[in-house]
Amino acid sequence: MTRIVSQDPSLEPVAEVLTTLLQPHPPLAADLLLTLGEVTLSPGTAGEDECHRITTTPSTITCQARTPQAVFRAALRTALYGTQGLGVVEGGPRYGWRGLMIDTARHFWTVPELERIVDLAAVHRLNVLHLHLTDNEGWRIEIPGLPRLTADGPHYTVAEFGRLQRYAADRHVVIVPEIDLPGHCAAAVRAHPELGTVQTALGPMSISAFDARDPATRAFITHVLTELCRMTDGPYVHFGGDEAFGLDEQLFGQAVTLARDVIRSGGKSPLGWQESVRAGLEPGGIAQWWIDPSMIDLPADVALRPELAARGLTNELLAELAEGFAPTAGDLGRILASGGRVLLSPQTHLYFDRPYDLAIVPPEQRETAARLGFIYEPRTVRHFAAWDPTAYGLDTANVAGVEAALWSETLRGFDDLTFLLLPRLATIAETAWNGRPSAWPQQHDHLRASGRIWQQRGLTFLRTTEVTWE
């Protein structure tokens, strides 16, 4: 076992959780010393609280930072990936929000499964786990006073959610819970048919959205978000706001404004998908940017992508989708014009339900790779590794951070989940930390080292032929 010595009482919990996290891995030859103290602020980093200094001698590795969280991340990284020789290295992350979103609505992930994801997030120095807790397919979080929401489906109880947040906090990961409204609300309406909705259709799909003029619906939104704020330890509550097809701007604005007001009254900062900026945004407010018309890689004619036709997509539906997403063209501009901050989740590179290009999948994993992923064009791992967060020409002050997202429509179990996450999560996590993509040879070596770590942790991953795995 690696010997971990904390030189400050406030670092004892860090030492303890490091010991637990490092259990599956071979010990370090040197002792790991944890210490609090000032470090030089590295230029272009998220702030002093996140910066660290690592000093390596033949017998000891000292991880120093101003905060336990920065000591934790520096020490875990060093213990897993080693140091670059003897001497002193200083550093820190470029982006302060390095997140991963997991969809618990389309597939329910158990608490132990989520704990393994929290561990994985920590291994890759991520600090946010965003949980998409409700959607048309299911409602996954107990809300005190509204038992019908969770009467007939798997879900997290209040106590489980509390334990998960503490587990994550020990690993310096903040949980951001999301209740998706006013669209994506079918599960809530199944449980509470008395709620007022607006009904529309997208191709063959019928779609409902909350009607925020309805008093029962307003009371419901208020109740749910008030309770959620009470249950949430972290500073943020996400209210969704995406794809509210069928609602006009005014009705959409009413729902978003209500959600934000309730969340602020609950003492939390509201956060929504990019569409929510159409209801305005307060200066400094965050909107999660995931799409614009240039990112929608759907063809104008299904004949060009036979696999889409096989999934039931028609040209009529493609046209409706294109029309429904047309307003996304203005969202980024709206966020910037209101002095808001962008949480970068562009689906071209940060949506991990994008299928893998079968050309990079080894034969024994082809069957798995072929059934996983949404209707996006397949891509290689190098495509994700090349993602450059500075490519959008945004000012530092306008970027809240980076968040990858994994939607669960095609997933059947935990191995499917990690198969889509890994290896690309590691490349995006490095880019979020460094602020820019490293050159491929460096990324390659990092992935290769990561593969060993995932194997030791028993995690399934795509053994892409782009990497010479150990």
Binding-site ranges for ligand TNX (CB under 6 A): 242-243, 273, 290, 351, 353, 374, 407, 409
Which of 102, 122, 123 has the alpha carbon at shortest distance from 113? 102
CA torsion sign, 98 to 372 to 440 to 57? positive
Work out how close the CB of 178 gets to ligand TNX at its nearest, in angstroms, rounded to a whole number: 9
Between CA 453 and CA 43 the distance in angstroms is: 30
Closer residue to ligand TNX in complex, CB, 276/443: 276
DSSP symbols for 94-106: S-SEEEEEEE-SS
> Nearer Cβ to ligand TNX, position 273 or 461?
273
Compare residues 184 and 218 and give the one whose CB is closer to ligand TNX: 184
Nearer to ligand TNX by C-beta: 296 or 336?
296
- What's the DSSP call for residue 201? E
Q: Give the nearer residue to ligand TNX in terms of CB position, either 328 or 450.
A: 328
Q: How far is the CB of 400 from ligand TNX (least distance, A)?
A: 16
Render the burial of 160-178: b for 16+ CB within 10 Å, e for the rest.
ebeebbebbbbbbbbbbbb
* C-alpha–C-alpha distance, residues 274 and 97, integer Å: 17
Closer to ligand TNX by CB, 211 or 243: give it.
Answer: 243
Provide the 8-state DSSP code for 458: T
Nearest to 423 by CA among 367, 356, 336, 323: 356
Residues paired with residue 271 on neighbouring β-strands, in sequence order: 238, 286
List the structure tokens of 144. Answer: 């005190």
The helix/strand/coil state of 195 is coil
- Contacts by 141-146 with C-beta closer than 8 Å and gap 24+? 141/177, 141/179, 141/228, 143/223, 143/224, 143/227, 143/228, 144/227, 145/223, 145/227, 146/191, 146/192, 146/220, 146/223, 146/224, 146/227
Residue number, 72 or 273, with CB nearest to ligand TNX = 273
In whole angstroms, the minimum distance from the beta carbon of 428 to ligand TNX comes to: 16
149 vs 406 by CB, closer to ligand TNX: 406
Alpha helices in 158-214 (DSSP H): 158-170, 186-191
CB of 220 to ligand TNX, least distance (A): 21
Q: How far is the CB of 436 from ligand TNX (least distance, A)?
A: 25
Nearest 5°: the CA angle 368, 371, 375 is 140
Q: Cis peptide before 441, with omega less than 30 degrees from 0?
A: no
What's the closest the beta carbon of residue 295 comes to ligand TNX, in angstroms? 11
Residues constituting the chain: 470
Nearest distance, CB of residue 80 and ligand TNX, angstroms: 30
Least Å distance between CB 183 and ligand TNX?
Answer: 9
Q: How far apart are CA 67 and CA 341, in angstroms?
A: 25
Cα–Cα separations (whole angstroms), residue 200 to 197, 207, 220, 247, 325 = 10, 5, 21, 9, 15
Q: Which is nearer to ligand TNX, 331 or 353 (CB)?
A: 353
Minimum Å gap between C-beta 101 and ligand TNX is 9
- Residue 409 CB, shortest distance to ligand TNX, in Å, is 6
- The contacts of residue 326 (CB under 8 Å, 6+ apart) are 293
Q: Nearer to ligand TNX by C-beta: 18 or 343?
A: 343
Phi, psi values for residue 466, rounded to 5°: -75, -15
Residue whose CB is less far from ligand TNX, 165 or 288: 288
Q: How far is the CB of 354 from ligand TNX (least distance, A)?
A: 8
**61 CB neighbour count, 10 Å cutoff:** 23
